[in-house]
Structure 1
Amino acid sequence: MTQHALITGGSSGMGLATAKRLIAKGIPTTVIGRDAATLAQAAKETGVATFQADLSTQEGIDAVNDHIATLPLTHFVNAAGYFNPKPFLDHSGDDYDIYMNLNRSGFFVSQAAARQMVKQGGGAIVHIGSMWAHQAIAATPSSAYSMAKAGVHALTQHMAMELGSHNIRVNAVAPAVVRTPIYRNFVPDDVMDETLASFDGFHPIGRIGEPDDVAKVAEFLLNADADWVTGAVWDVDGGVMAGRN
């Protein structure tokens, strides 16, 4: 079977780390991103194909879905993300809408991906969920983000149930703190390293995650070694769900 992978939010962080692993396995991979310069750098580093689109808009969703219809798609990773902690009482409608619009794009791009996989005879999908969907953390008040990610976990289970008969497996990973550009929304670059390092002890394993820690698990869930795994949300969190220091 001809294979092709597509990763939204694939120009950096966990998405790009997963793309690198798929490319290394010889699977042609396209990454979707909003920023042209970041996409160009990703292509230079890895050899991935790139597609620029703003998934916060209907035009962006439509463009990606039209592109999906041209691919022999067998692997899809929904890794587009946004994170900006803010107290519940301070959340505005605009804050809320950022997360819900991202979920909307994830839903309909996943739908287009699944439809294309049905034509291909099957495939595998991995959503990037979050540890924050499982529990609240006082240091990072994230009600709307967590609500959105809990929806991603629920979507994973429903897609797995409905798509299993089409030979499509759907799983998710739920990371804790991982060193990715997502924290630039609220942490200045000059204190990024020390800020993230302050969360090392939060994880029982003694350190925050690196993008490849999550990518290794996503790669496993995408490949045939996991062909009896579907509808699962895997905690890839340095032990945080077992207990916190």
Structure 2
Amino acid sequence: MSNTFSGKKLLVVGGTSGMGLETARLLLEQGGSVVLVGNRQEKADAAQRELSALGPVSVLVGDLMTEQGMNHIRYAINAEHQDISLLVNAAGVFFPKPFAEHEEADYDMYMNINRATFFITRDVVKNMLAAGTRGSVVNIGSMWAQQAIGATPSSAYSMAKAGLHALTKNMAIELGGHGIRVNAVSPAVVQTPIYEGFIAKDEVEGVMNSFNSFHPIGRVGKPRDIAETVAFLLSEKAGWVTGAIWDIDGGVMAGRN
């Protein structure tokens, strides 16, 4: 077990499953402590139990779709966790739907997550600036922000993720001089619970397997594939990387089989 992140505290927004949970696991394995933000108490408690043998794990629970939930998380961060120096924004939902069928509620779902991400990140960064802390932020973007996929029409989702990519670059320019690096990763299809929102649980594996050949490397991603790169970007090994959007996509953006 390395001590790459010894003495560092990581906040993972959307940290109770998938890529966020796996990133938290890696940080703990490398000597850090983590604070997980989730939207369901039982899921947060399960994640805390799963990870606590590896190191210090705190959980914060709030519905980021609502202003009240967002503000609850922000209050808790400012009250209890002003010493956060690492942040991963991994919260997300994904419900493909044709553009012409989008309702306001569909649009709001994605934009409310972006709003919560924006203001939680702002509070964490303000605390870093006030303390003179060198820090690192990684946003989980998406290949869909860069390229439309006919099989999964996702206009509002893609618009929200493209906004996250743009936020990454703007923050990087503003904060670089303060020793705060900001990057994003742009995954293709990764096997996470996000797909269970619109695919029956017993069908997810088959649907995932059908996407293997979509990726030149020949398989969909696993949360660990993404987490390894996120942890690298958080670490000082990537000390000269900021404002980058890294494709972690099995080769999809390079071309198709």
Quick check: TM above 0.5? yes
1:79 maps to which residue?
90
2:117 maps to which residue?
106
1:29 maps to which residue?
34
Q: Partners of 1:185 and 1:244 in 2: how far apart?
A: 27
Q: Is the 8 A contact 2:65 2:116 kept in 1?
A: yes
| Paired residue secondary structure (1:76) | strand
**One-letter code aligned to 1:91:** H
- Larger CA deviation: 143-152 vs 120-129: 120-129
Match of 1:218 among 213, 227, 230: 230
Q: Partners of 2:249 and 2:238 in 1: how far apart?
A: 20
Identity %: 51
Q: Does 1:7 align with 2:18?
A: no
**One-letter code aligned to 1:46:** L
Q: Partners of 2:29 and 2:132 in 1: how far apart?
A: 22
Deviation at 1:184, TM superposition (A): 1.0
The two structures have a TM-score, normalised by structure 1, of 0.98
Q: Partners of 1:53 and 1:8 in 2: how far apart?
A: 10
- Aligned-pair Cα RMSD in Å: 1.0
Number of equivalent positions = 245
Q: Is the 8 A contact 1:68 1:116 kept in 2?
A: no
**One-letter code aligned to 1:20:** R
Q: Which residues of 2 match residues 1-245 of structure 1 at below 5 A?
A: 2-47=7-52, 48-69=57-78, 70-71=80-81, 72-118=83-129, 119-245=131-257
Q: Is the 8 A contact 1:129 1:174 kept in 2?
A: yes
**One-letter code aligned to 1:6:** L
Q: Is the 8 A contact 2:186 2:245 kept in 1?
A: yes
Q: Is the 8 A contact 1:74 1:120 kept in 2?
A: no
Q: Partners of 2:7 and 2:215 in 1: how far apart?
A: 40
**One-letter code aligned to 1:10:** G
Q: Is the 8 A contact 2:7 2:33 kept in 1?
A: no
Deviation at 1:2, TM superposition (A): 4.3
Deviation at 1:173, TM superposition (A): 0.3
Deviation at 1:65, TM superposition (A): 1.4
2:3 maps to which residue?
none
- Larger CA deviation: 46-55 vs 121-130: 46-55
Q: Partners of 1:216 and 1:46 in 2: how far apart?
A: 17
| Paired residue secondary structure (1:30) | strand
Q: Which runs of 5+ in 1 are unaligned?
A: none
**Runs (4+) of structure 1 moved beyond 3 Å?**
none
Q: Partners of 2:76 and 2:138 in 1: how far apart?
A: 19
Q: Is the 8 A contact 1:73 1:120 kept in 2?
A: no
Q: Is the 8 A contact 2:7 2:31 kept in 1?
A: no
Q: Partners of 1:137 and 1:93 in 2: how far apart?
A: 22
